[in-house]
C-alpha cells in the first residue's frame, strides 16, 4: 500500500510536503490527475490554502510533483528490484512479475496510476504531458532492453523485434489489470501462465522447454542458474 514517504531531513516543511504528495497520489490513483486541486487537498488535510500554496504555486506544479512521487513509488516496487536481478530473460520476467505484484498488492489504491495519467494528458502540450510520456518511455525502454539483453545471452531468438515484444508484454499486463478490476481480486496466476507462454514462444533452446510448464517450474529453473 502507498504510504507517506519518509522525509530525508525530518524538517516540518518536508514532512508536510511528503504528506501532501502521498494524499495527492491516492486521489490521482482513484480519480485521475485532473481531480487534484490545492483547495481539495487543503480541505482533506485540514491545512490552509496558503500553506499548501507555499509548497505548490500552481496546479501544474502540484501535478508534476505528484507524478514524480508516483514514479518513485513505482521504481522502488518494480524497476529497481528488477534491474538488480540477472540480465536477460530473468530480468524480463521480473519486470513483468513485479508489475503484476504491484497491482496485486495495491501499491496504488485506485486504477493503474500511469495508464490513467497517460490517456488523460499524453496528447496535450506542456510539462505534465512531457513528464508522463517520459515515464511511459522509461518503462518501455526497460522492457526493450531486457529483451535485447536476453537476445545477447542467447535466451531469446535474435530475430524477435525487441520493441514489438515490449509493446506486446505491456499489453498483456494492462489486459490482466482490466480483468483484475472486473473480477475484483482475481489471482495473477493466469496472467503469469500467459506470460510464460509468451516467453516460451520467444525462447531459444538454451532455455529448457519444461521450465515454462508452470510458474513453480520457472522459478526452479531460475534458482538453478549460476
For residues 71 and 183, the model is more confident at 71
185 pLDDT more than 80: no
Domains of the chain (ranges plus CATH)?
A: 58-224 (1.10.357.10)
Segment 58-67, tens digit of pLDDT: 888 889 999 9
pLDDT band at 187 (very low <50, low <70, confident <90, very high): low
Q: 129 with 122: CB under 8 angstroms?
A: yes
Tally Cβ neighbours within 10 Å of residue 26: 18
Q: What is the pTM of this model?
A: 0.87
For residues 30 and 142, the model is more confident at 142
By the 10 Å C-beta count (0-12 exposed, 13-18 middle, 19+ buried), 40 is classed as: middle
Amino acid at each position: 500500500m502507498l504510504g507517506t514517504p519518509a522525509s530525508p531531513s525530518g524538517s516540518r516543511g518536508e514532512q508536510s510536503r511528503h504528506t501532501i504528495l502521498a494524499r495527492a497520489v491516492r486521489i490521482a490513483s482513484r480519480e485521475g490527475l485532473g481531480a487534484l486541486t490545492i483547495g481539495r487537498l487543503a480541505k482533506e488535510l485540514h491545512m490552509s490554502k496558503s500553506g499548501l500554496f507555499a509548497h505548490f504555486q500552481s496546479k501544474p506544479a502540484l501535478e508534476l510533483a505528484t507524478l514524480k512521487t508516483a514514479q518513485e513509488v513505482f521504481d522502488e516496487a518494480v524497476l529497481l528490484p528488477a534491474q538488480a536481478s540477472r540480465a536477460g530473460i530473468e530480468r524480463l520476467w521480473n519486470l513483468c512479475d513485479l508489475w503484476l505484484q504491484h497491482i496485486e498488492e495495491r501499491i496504488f489504491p485506485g486504477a493503474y496510476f500511469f495508464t490513467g495519467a497517460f490517456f488523460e494528458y499524453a496528447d496535450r502540450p506542456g510539462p505534465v504531458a512531457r513528464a508522463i510520456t517520459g515515464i511511459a518511455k522509461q518503462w518501455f525502454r526497460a522492457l526493450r532492453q531486457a529483451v535485447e539483453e536476453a537476445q545477447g545471452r542467447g535466451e531469446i531468438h535474435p530475430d524477435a523485434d525487441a520493441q514489438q515484444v515490449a509493446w506486446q508484454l505491456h499489453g498483456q499486463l494492462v489486459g490482466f489489470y482490466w480483468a483484475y478490476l472486473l473480477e475484483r481480486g482475481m489471482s495473477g496466476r493466469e496472467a503469469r501462465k500467459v506470460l510464460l507462454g509468451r516467453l516460451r514462444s520467444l525462447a531459444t533452446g538454451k532455455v529448457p522447454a519444461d521450465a515454462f510448464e508452470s510458474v513453480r517450474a520457472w522459478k526452479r529453473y531460475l534458482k538453478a542458474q549460476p
